[in-house]
A and B are shown apart, each in its own frame.
Chain A
């Protein structure tokens, strides 16, 4: 075997071996990074759990009841006769239906007027759909 062939073979072998080692190093590096991220996620989840438990404690009937009914408060559940119903002569249920064209014209008019008197840009003054 020629020395040059031997060195070429050695070089290929070394490159392959180094590539393998490099891949292994990358795998382990990713494993360390993964573990680090897992710890962060676990901590965030634990914190989330703590916050959730605090919220559930704060919104529990026991807590709210004690706070609202402190010092023998006279706070009570409302009965039907304690609810005030506002009446109006305007009949909302039987309003004449507007045609889409009427609505469009009205919108255009208001947009036109708004564009004249508004100091805002068109984007800000535009109707939100």
Chain B
């Protein structure tokens, strides 16, 4: 049913519909509305779950790790400093192959202190073994959470999933969202059946010591699973379309890409603004297009290459930078061309850090720079 509500509340509704049973989170702007909403639902009896209050994000992640290990569906949410605080637990959750779902309300990291949106927090966790998806708008944020539970608990995957939505820009934005019925969600998302779980009747230990003779294979297995996930995801996206009556893009989205010579590549809410700019440029007869990346991990390298191979100039725009090198998404996109004959100009752009507004002018500045010599890192809207 189409409703008009705040992004955070829409996500909370989805978590309720997915019947998460253990929720533990520590409040941090701009994620607070999500967890407040869920706490209210539990208190009002609308959601039959244990809401466990803890004193830190590290503990919140530990709680959901332990709960997931007992075979229950879990949920947590965080951002920025909170994500970094819990990061060792995130690696552990993936290593234990637990299907925990986490919403990252993307926010810049300190120091200096900044509570506004960028992607530096979630890209920092990209090596941890979590599937990571980035939402363009609140409808996508909702749909990706539904997909997240389904994918995470699939016995071919059994990995945690992080759904990233831009802090304030999406979490605090009121938009029209089509929320599903409980019956539809029940049809799409069966009960969680763990592969291994802590059970006093059949005791096991999880996360044991594995030395040089056996550790490598566990990491190989996660990597292979993430590669396999690229093949599993489209089939499940088809199921999603059948149940909910709308398409969900889970890996990439192509926008006016067919004959595009100049292509923008980006993740998250800035994609909406880029689409507006592209429509304007197309009216002027310019052949520009957009490749939206939704899955950052696993990175759909082959699909990205196929989508971009006919472009002459590619601009990768991102709200993060691996300081001392270049933007992480830029590195990933360049790697998609490795081993292939053609080498279009691929330039990397960093913008929107610390919540600096990305305007149509920002995108046009990217296009202007793209026309010149190739650059690895160009900071857009820089005040120096």
Q: Do A and B bind each other?
A: no
